[in-house]
Structure 1
Amino acid sequence: MRVAVPDLITPADGLGRVHFVGIGGAGLSAIARIMLARGITVSGSDAVDSPTLEALRNAGARVSLGHEAANVESVDTVVVSTAVHDDNPEYVEAVRRGLVVLPRSAALASVMAGRRVVAVAGTHGKTTTTSLLTVALQAAGADPTYAIGGDLAETGTNADEGAGDLFVAEADESDGAFLVYEPYAAVVTNVEADHLDQWGTEEAYRAAFDEFAGRVDPDGFLVCIVDDPGARRLADVARATGLRVVRVGEGDADLRVSDLAFEGTTSSFTVVDDGTELGRVTLRIPGRHYVLDAAAALATGLRLGFSFDDLRRGLEGFGGTRRRMELKGEAAQVCVYDSYAHHPAEIAGDLAAARAVAGTGRVVVAYQPHLVSRTRLFGVAMGEALGAADEVVVLDVYLAREEADPAVTGALVADAVPLPAERVAFVPDFDAVPAEVVRRARPGDLVVTLGAGTVTQLGPRILALLADRDG
């Protein structure tokens, strides 16, 4: 459901008692955590219980399971997730009562008020880059407030209130939320067509990023990873308006990374900034795409005035973000990872990282396509990207906010995988997937579950079956 953004954003301390419909989601839970830390009275509801809801209760929120009109009787402002339908009883009651109703984007803008905002956008890599920047700034003593689409390994949460003036936020383009913010500085990791159910065309999607860059403070700056053609085009557009642009990449860039090396779960690279070699950085996460994300975070921190050594210390200590090449465990000499990749470019990046970690072992992937609209457009490209694995199990499409389409299933993806037929399986029965993966896995292999939906639940089940097999 789309809720209109008000013309004037009220700072969070002027919203009164705030209720979140769908409080367990990554976006709303982050805002709720920050409001709780500021002493704002917070309540919320969600369909099912979760560790996130329990953490919010422990932080002081009143959280209800299920959606009932009575949940908004004693509140002043209602924040609504985009996943909520317009017949939700809490939304209906809020409108009937004439309460202030805000979308997620406006609620996040309300907690940003009065802070120097650094917004991180892009088709892929937003969560990792926001996380890397947050940890780097913390190591440099900045103590930023942050709101991220995933939990930091260092803190176990996706948001926190900091004492400094900086606010680091993941800026989501999927529903146009990033066009509500007015950041001092921004980072764009890449611009590849996605979320065309929202934007309609690739041209409109690119134009939205142009508009986002236009919202950056004229006294601030924009960081773009220009190895990506879409971000390189954006950098040129933004620079032509007079905005200060910092180009990051392996090639022609203001901050350049070189001598990349990957060994096991680590990535290392040399940093050259404006022609001066600053030193070498070693990350505890594998993959070229993560090197570029870290370089963008580093470029941002340097332009904010922090030292290379302090920022490097934070980057090198970064322990990862949940669901971004996250190690779930090892059993029967098989390592199991989980990652959020759901776009062809993300699949390719994570499988390249998995290959480096696997060494002489094989890569076995269980992939769940996300959204009918995305699979219709990119299903063949998803399958082609999965060809970088040795064994592939494709699940059916995770529907999320859409209706099923019999013509668009996981079979569309599986049929496009460029591997021998015996090394690819389409398994529409979710509960049958763990056994199929374990049947294919050998000692020394790396298993990775990929996708933005329920596929993340499979890791523990795969590990349990592997352990039983080993026993």
Structure 2
Amino acid sequence: MAPGLPTAMDRPHFIGIGGAGMSGIAKILAQRGAEVAGSDAKESATAEALRALGATVHVGHAAEHLADDATCVVVSSAIREDNPELARAHERGIPVVHRSDALAALMHGLRPIAVAGTHGKTTTTSMLAVSLSELGLNPSYAIGGDLDAPGSNALHGDGEIFVAEADESDRSFHKYAPEVAIVLNVELDHHANYASMAEIHESFETFAGKIVPGGTLVIAADQDGARELTRRLAGSVRTVTYGESEDADVRILSVVPQGLKSEVTVVMDGAELTFAVSVPGRHYAHNAVAALAAGVALGIPAAELATALAAYTGVKRRLQLKGEAAGVQVVDSYAHHPTEMTADLEAMRAAVGDARILVLFQPHLFSRTQELGKEMGRALSLADASVVLDIYPAREDPIPGITSDLIIEAARAAGADVTPVRGKDGAPAVVAGMAKAGDLVLTMGAGDVTDLGPRILDQLSSTGK
């Protein structure tokens, strides 16, 4: 049986409870019997889901939202010191706990799998959660996105396995002590916190060093940053590599596209194994193989887990089909790093063949655009045409001179057809005006561009194109 509540977390208060990472921890605590409360900037379906579990969720941030009997206040790195609820917690001497410490406490006493990497974490964590559930192992899990099935980003299960997405962006993944760790890739990102690849590698080395004695690191064999990490860790931890490289321990022999699915064949311990992946693209096939290797490292039979992986049908915002109108399909992509953008566009190209792909892209963060704007523009050249919005700031203040024009100029230099749109409200009409029957529209980015997919479908329906 899974353990109960961590000490001093029986009446937690979450600041920013609606966030993907925060809400997952809050849900698990509520399911374990805690009296959960918290606040978020706006009303949401996530807030309603938390209330259905018995949590008290306030809209807006105010000192009076923090109850006097709260045993701790849980925050993420996005919460600023001038938040009124955080200020009240300091005044009253209520312990303040970072969400990574809260998650680490939830995993204590279980068999954790921690999934890390610059991108692909949510998908791989979700694949493990779904497949282990399909096998009746009843894992607990905390994911940075909502599953298509079973419909939640977190669950308290009564099994012994806990699957968690491990966030490197603020080095909080150093708090975990997994039995199995996955590193999907190691690239420079999160430029507000990391100044160089040297710092990134040092951070991932620290993460790998937290694996419990006798545990396993599952790591990509094909990606340069991951290979360098493997070299640095040589002999310090049991390592299982996966990928298409000839020297991979779990070698991918083929990835055969089958519409919006694919068939994957691997060699493990000298034996071939073929299984289905119910989402498109080579990068998702690699994620599935990473999940397979991690499960096998925990002692789960490879053939059983491979079959169960087919039950995974996707995560919201990860190439999620939003609908079809006037012969145009609209798909939502969370991709916001150039590598992710390229992977999703290549996956869509393999799925739709010669059909036109139109992208509505919203850059995410000024710092990321400053460092990777040119690469984002080159990625957009893989589409037949793109519309580029203003930068979504999220937690950042503007940086002088850094705008989406950096991306637009780079895209045009790479030969791309790009249309800038200032202010996202006019974008659905622009995209619908460009689209014609047989096209695929991809809304892309980590911000609120996801809200525009349904509006594009409405525009297409109303114009009858």
- In structure 1, what is the Cα distance between the partners aligned to 2:259 and 2:355? 12
The residue aligned with 1:183 is: 178
With 450-459 and 352-361 compared, the bigger mean Cα shift is at 352-361
1:185 deviates by: 1.0
1:226 deviates by: 1.3
- In structure 1, what is the Cα distance between the partners aligned to 2:206 and 2:435? 47
2:263 is paired with a residue whose SS is: strand
1:387-426 map, 5 Å: 387-418=381-412, 423-426=417-420
The residue aligned with 1:356 is: 350
1:317 deviates by: 1.4
Deviation string, structure 1 residues 114-143 (Cα, Å, up to 9, x no partner): 111110000010000101111121222221
Matching residue within 195, 204, 209 for 1:200: 195
Which blocks of at least 5 consecutive residues in structure 2 are unaligned? Answer: none
1:16 deviates by: 3.1
The residue aligned with 2:205 is: 210
1:239 deviates by: 3.1
1:340-379 map, 5 Å: 340-379=334-373
Contact 2:317 / 2:332 at 8 angstroms: preserved in 1? yes
Matching residue within 11, 14, 18 for 1:17: 11
1:269-418 map, 5 Å: 269-277=264-272, 279-418=273-412
Q: Which amino acid aligns with 2:363?
A: P
TM-score (norm 2): 0.96
Distance 1:347 1:403, change over 3 A: same
Q: Which amino acid aligns with 1:202?
A: M
1:13 deviates by: 4.2
1:304 deviates by: 1.1
Matching residue within 159, 164, 171 for 1:169: 164
Q: CA RMSD in A?
A: 1.5
1:156 is paired with a residue whose SS is: coil
Matching residue within 76, 79, 83 for 1:81: 76
Deviation string, structure 1 residues 83-112 (Cα, Å, up to 9, x no partner): 222111110010000001011111111211
Contact 2:129 / 2:163 at 8 angstroms: preserved in 1? yes
1:406 deviates by: 4.1
Deviation string, structure 1 residues 382-417 (Cα, Å, up to 9, x no partner): 000110000011111111111123411111101111
Q: Which amino acid aligns with 1:249?
A: G
- In structure 1, what is the Cα distance between the partners aligned to 2:413 and 2:232? 41
Question: Do structure 1's residue 69 and structure 2's residue 92 form an aligned pair?
Answer: no
1:302 deviates by: 1.2
Q: Which amino acid aligns with 1:36?
A: A
1:202 deviates by: 1.7
2:431 is paired with a residue whose SS is: helix
The residue aligned with 1:7 is: none
Deviation string, structure 1 residues 38-62 (Cα, Å, up to 9, x no partner): 1011001111100000000000001
Q: Which amino acid aligns with 2:310?
A: E
Matching residue within 52, 55, 67 for 1:58: 52
- In structure 2, what is the Cα distance between the partners aligned to 1:116 and 1:442? 50
Contact 1:69 / 1:90 at 8 angstroms: preserved in 2? yes
TM-score (norm 1): 0.95
Matching residue within 136, 139, 148 for 1:144: 139
Deviation string, structure 1 residues 321-363 (Cα, Å, up to 9, x no partner): 1110000000010100001100000000000011122223110
Structure 1 segments, 4+ long, off by >6 Å, are 419-422
Question: Do structure 1's residue 447 and structure 2's residue 441 form an aligned pair?
Answer: yes
Distance 1:420 1:259, change over 3 A: closer
Q: Which amino acid aligns with 2:96?
A: V
- In structure 2, what is the Cα distance between the partners aligned to 1:300 and 1:239? 19
Matching residue within 82, 87, 94 for 2:89: 94
Which blocks of at least 5 consecutive residues in structure 1 are unaligned? Answer: 1-9
Matching residue within 447, 455, 459 for 1:465: 459
1:117-156 map, 5 Å: 117-156=112-151
Contact 2:8 / 2:72 at 8 angstroms: preserved in 1? no
Distance 1:13 1:249, change over 3 A: same
- In structure 1, what is the Cα distance between the partners aligned to 2:277 and 2:179? 27
1:276 deviates by: 1.6
Q: Which amino acid aligns with 1:18?
A: P
- In structure 2, what is the Cα distance between the partners aligned to 1:253 and 1:65? 49
1:347 is paired with a residue whose SS is: helix
- In structure 2, what is the Cα distance between the partners aligned to 1:420 and 1:135? 40
The residue aligned with 1:112 is: 107
